[in-house]
Amino acid sequence: MAISLQKGQKIDLTKGNAGLSKLLVGLGWDTNKYDGGADFDLDAAAFLLTENGKVTSDADFVFYGNLEHASKSVLHLGDNLTGEGEGDDECIEVDLSIVPANIAKIDFTVTIYDAANRGQNFGMVSNAFIRVVDAGSNAELVRYDLGEDYSTETAVVVAELYRHAGEWKFNAIGSGFAGGLEALCRNFGVNA
């Protein structure tokens, strides 16, 4: 049974889970009904970060325009343009066993595509979540439901996987950003 976390909570993933290396990170959301007329296109991404919280190059940013990290450790399974349907809207596979040694953490984010022009923000999004699944057994290990109201934000750092004392842990972050994907890229050192 999956462990449900609150904002700011952390949990060990690999300690006590010998052999766990291949994960499926699922992100999902619903959009509230409103009369703006434009479809919502939310995009999940992963930033592979060094100890200083920055990428080593733009190639450490895995998203709909760069689906696979050069190390093959992080693979984005594709862009869902509408968010329709139940369950995960976008998924990212992670193989912890081949994450480069200089990568200290992998941050998972969701942004609203063209939010400023469409007049959209995360206040119009509900039921957002991230979940981590053991790809070998298909068992859900951890889930974090974002319950906060992000009334003006157009990007959210949802959670991160990070190394600690040779093990991998999960941190439920839920930190909102104004400025969308461009603001996130600047924050993590990507040349947007």
* Average pLDDT of span 101-118: 92
Q: In terms of pLDDT, which residue wins out, 36 or 106?
A: 106
Q: What is the DSSP string of the chain?
A: -PEEE-TT-EEESSTT-TT--EEEEEEEEEE---S--SPP-EEEEEEEE-TTS--SSGGGEEBTTB-B-TTSSEEE----SS--SSS-SEEEEEEGGGS-TT--EEEEEEEETTHHHHT--GGGEEEEEEEEEETTTTEEEEEEE--S--SS-SEEEEEEEEEETTEEEEEEEEEEESSHHHHHHHHHT---
pLDDT given for residue 29 in this prediction: 82
Spatial CB neighbours of 191, under 8 Å, sequence gap ≥ 6: 58, 185
Distance CA 182, CA 80 (A): 20
Residue 6 pLDDT more than 60? yes
* Mean residue pLDDT across the chain: 87
Asked if 100 and 70 touch (Cβ cutoff 8 Å), the reply is no
pLDDT given for residue 96 in this prediction: 96
Q: Which of 33-37, 47-51, 123-127, 159-163 has the lowest mean pLDDT?
A: 33-37
Residue 118 pLDDT more than 90? no
pLDDT given for residue 53 in this prediction: 95
Residue 146 pLDDT more than 90? no
Nearest to 178 by CA among 159, 150, 157, 152: 152
Residue 85 pLDDT more than 60? no
Residue 81 pLDDT more than 90? no
Q: What is the pTM of this model?
A: 0.91
**Which of the residue ranges 31-40, 108-117, 163-172 has the most confident prediction, judged by mean pLDDT?**
163-172
